[in-house]
Amino acid sequence: MVLRFLLVLLIVWVALAVIGAVVKGLFWLAVVGFVLFLGTAALGAVRRR
C-alpha cells in the first residue's frame, strides 16, 4: 500500500519535472519536481529496509 503510494508520487514528480523543463518560464517547477522525486525515492528506500 505505502509502496504503491510512493510509486504514484514518483510518477507525479517526474511529470512535474518534465513539464517544468518543457515550458521555459517554469524552470523552477522542474527543479522542485526533481527535488521532490529524490526525496520520495529516498523515503521509499528507507521504508523498504
pLDDT in tens, 17-36: 888 778 877 778 878 888 88
For CA atoms 21, 27, 31, 32, the dihedral sign is negative
Asked if 17 and 29 touch (Cβ cutoff 8 Å), the reply is yes
Q: How many CA atoms lie within 13 A of 43 on its CB side?
A: 14
Least confident of 5-14, 18-27, 33-42: 18-27
How many folded domains does the chain comprise?
Answer: 1
Predicted TM-score (pTM) of this structure: 0.68
Rounded Cα distance, 15 and 35, in Å: 13
Whether 5 shows a pLDDT value over 80: the answer reads: yes
What pLDDT is attached to residue 45? 85
Rounded Cα distance, 22 and 20, in Å: 6
What pLDDT is attached to residue 43? 86
